Structure 1
Amino acid sequence: MTLLVFTLFSVALTLLGFFVPVALFKRLTILGLSLALLSLLFTWGKPFAFGPYQVDGVSQVFTLLALLGALWTLGLVRSRRFEFYLLVLYAAFGMHLLASTKNLILLLVALEALSLPLYALATWRRGQGLEAALKYFLLGALAAAFFLYGAALHYGATGSFLAGTPGKGPLYALALGLLLVGLGFKVALAPFHFWTPDVYQGSPTPVVLFMATSVKAAAFAALLRVAAPGAPDALAFLIALSVVVGNLAALAQKETKRLLAYSSIAHAGYMALALYTGNAQALGFYLLTYVLATGLAFAVLSEVSPDRVPLEALRGLFHRDPLLGLALFLAALSLLGLPPLAGFWGKYLVFAEAARAGKWGLLVLALVTSAISAYYYLALGLSVFGRGEAGVAPRPLARGVALLVALALLLLGLLPGSVLPALAAG
């Protein structure tokens, strides 16, 4: 049903775009994504398969997270061009397909379906971020080529394009390695992360929210499909490199979006640790807390400035708007993983699973780098209480959503068991 809703609205809005006012087009796009979300919730827990298209626990959990990010993005955007909203819809469609198939060829098509709109969205403000978007496009094309070669070698090694098909030998190992490179680019695992800081800094803030939440959720769904039967040992190296590079590089950042970009690389490493230990439930919960906290941070930043936001620009935010200042403070603490916020339980579940699996080296490295992250997360969170003249003119809707998400982070931290059963992705 979700696929049908996406298809109907994508076709209908493509035809209507030139004939309806932009304000109405935005509402229709939000309506389409909302109906897709409702159809997903209505069919929750009911598996469905049609050829390579497969709706199961993984599809439902990760599509839900992607749709939340897409709707949040549309709520923040004030574009006068209908194409912006249409591109977000197309990308969300691609994300749903990416989370809803094990077929490597359809995974490649879905990757391109979500990537092409993002390349355009990254350069939406003409003259800004063009260099970063070009880097994003070129590296994205290279990652797609790696994925395609990996799919071909996977077929040669196993005789199947179905992700997760067991195989042996160097050809199979090479196939998994190439697939891992292609998907590692999308989730921003080091050393495939080089596009992330520049694109985050140069893109409009609502677009960065979309990239940091929805794209990461959908890409991890695909990575789970590929690596679920037995994550390759190469993933352990990517995890270690990501948590080290992400956290250490973030220490030197003075621009908020660039800081959060390196933070997202580190969090990709923590999420990949959950995948490496084979716990899809821990991965789903971590992603939920990450989507809420990161989305909240970028939502607040979009009310401060749609472009670059130096840390100095946040000083005095709490005094200018206590709600937004407190929301950014809570988002930073949740990303750090401090109780009683939801981010604490996300990290606890991942780290506890790593201990049970005996991955002591990765666990110690994750704990040490998580402690290091306290420096820049506290610098970000406490900056809102400093003396300054932070410029902000928030809309009532933005303030209301910020309040709801901040409460959600607190409630999930107090009652994590209320959602864990629903996130047991199958």
Structure 2
Amino acid sequence: MGGFPIEVATRIKTLPPYLFAAIDKMKQEAIARGVDIINLGIGDPDLPTPIPIIESLANAAKDPKHHQYPSYEGMLSFRKAVAAWYKRRFNVTLEPANEVLTLIGSKEGIGHIHLAFVDPGDVVLVPSPGYPVYPVGTSFAGGASHIMPLTKANGFLPDLGSIPKELAKKAKLMWLNSPNNPTSVIMTKEYFKRVVEFAQENHVIVCHDAAYSEVYYDGRRPASFMEVEGAKDVGVEFHSLSKTYNMTGWRIGFAVGNKEVLAGLGKVKSNLDSGCFEAVQEAGITALSLDDSMTDGLRKTYQDRRDTLIPGLKNLGLAVDPPPAAFYVWVTVPKGYTSTSFTAHLLEKAGIVTTPGNGFGAPGEGYIRMTLCTSKERLAEAVERIKKAGL
């Protein structure tokens, strides 16, 4: 029997290669050549998950009641833990039953929410450079991304005033991300207030990705979008346990805020995926109940790394500002290079994996992103290797 041509859908054909999968392939090829790689490419915490969280999972996994299908919206006890954490951290009051939704990692919710609210041809306001799932989720729903460029001249914040009024009125969703990936910029409460006004005026749902809110430096704690009056009327906030508690592989996160928006996302979830394994939710309850001493230690580790890498890069003549939050360093490429060619130079000549800024969107051209997810010693070595390789 002969085969027949297998043709993927147009949405797949027009999809760029997933940025981090492409970087991983590049890294594996270098390793196969025998290169000792220093991986500053993907933001995956290298520190272990805290022991109390692991013990909680181990105990919960032994309980047969957790071995069946979990509820789509998540255990009420986990959602109560989320609400208690929001009250303690941000002084925000949430109703666990309908203003908190459990996710299989925040990426799942970020991708799925477009299917709940975006029809073919609808507009979504997307920051760029930014997390690739914002425009990809838009594309999968048949929507069109309107790029909000994040430029140094505007403090790497979306310029709300530059969005054409007609287009703003047509927009269904608006994505924000603070602390920002890849630029590490923090949005203030004053900025969030302007966002609420913009959303109310244009009837656009705000989706705020706050995955990095607990990775901050110099005691400067980022605000939650939900802290601002009116935020719950216009949008939702996505959060993850991945970055705060070193749980990237555990796949647990949550969305909070407007109950109608969460109900729409929940309807998509119930039709396309299942709930989060209850033993992982039990571990999540433990994580959210830990005091700040644990997260303070993580922040100190990342700050020590930041304060090792930044002076080293500056001594090489690279233009870079110390990030106020997140574990990313947004580096201006030297003259004579593009984002891609400088990334290739660092890999080929120094064995260092970084991420080209244009992989996060065209406005990221002229930058590369490095992560702080490796030891101080390896970061110092990376600086030495760049010095030897030359710019």
Place the TM-score, normalised by the shorter chain, in its bin: 0.3 to 0.5
TM-score (norm 1): 0.30
Q: Which one has the largest radius of gyration?
A: 2
User: Which protein has greater RCO, CA pairs closer than 8 Å, 6+ apart?
Assistant: 2
Higher helix share: 1
